[in-house]
Amino acid sequence: MFRGYAVKDMELNKLSYYIHEEERENSLQSILWFELLFDGVSIENLIGDDKAIPYYYFEDEDFDLPTFFDYQGKKYHIIGVCICGDAGCGSTDCEIIKDENFVKLKIIFRGGYKPPTDFMFMFSRKNYDDVIFEIREKSKEYKKKRENKLSK
């Protein structure tokens, strides 16, 4: 007998994040970092690759993770950059597949490294949108705070 595939039977992952504030001696170089957590686990613990995203990647009005590059019509998005803060130096990326209700992240590691496990995560659209929205708001707040501090 055919059994329907009920949405409620699908196991969704949970996206959350952790904030690190890195104070450097030259306050111009201080950085707020956002570390994404997948079911509470950091990218570092999943694989040990570039793990967090600096606030300045969230300054535009996009509704997704920052776009690293477009390649053959596909967008690659950033989930972590090198500790120097430059995605051009190194990054962990993902493809985002979205519909009305769900968001899938297919994670691609640095240097085309293919992990033994399939790193595909699926979140509810609301969970994903809320996290990105919050990170963008916090990035903007931090930027403002920082500019005020610097102008004094």
Query: Taking the C-alpha atoms of 127, 32, 139 and 148 in order, what is their torsion angle to the nearest 10 degrees?
Result: 160
Cα separation, 14 vs 25, in Å, equals 36
Closer residue to Zn ion (CB): 54 or 132: 54
Find the part of the chain contacting Zn ion (CB under 5 A) among 11-19, 21-29, 82-90, 125-133: 82-90
| The binder of Zn ion chosen from 12, 37, 56, 82 (CB under 5 A) | 82
CB-nearer residue toward Zn ion: 86 or 141: 86
Please count the residues of this chain forming the interface with Zn ion, following the rule CB under 5 A.
3
Does position 84 interact with Zn ion (CB under 5 A)? The reply is: yes
Q: Tell me which stretch binds Zn ion (CB under 5 A): 24-32, 75-83, 100-108, 144-152.
A: 75-83
Phi (first) and psi of residue 111, to 5 degrees: 65, 25
Conformation bin of residue 78: beta by default, left when phi > 0, alpha when psi is -120 to 50: beta
Using CB under 5 A as the criterion, which residues of the chain lie in contact with Zn ion when the complex forms?
82, 84, 89
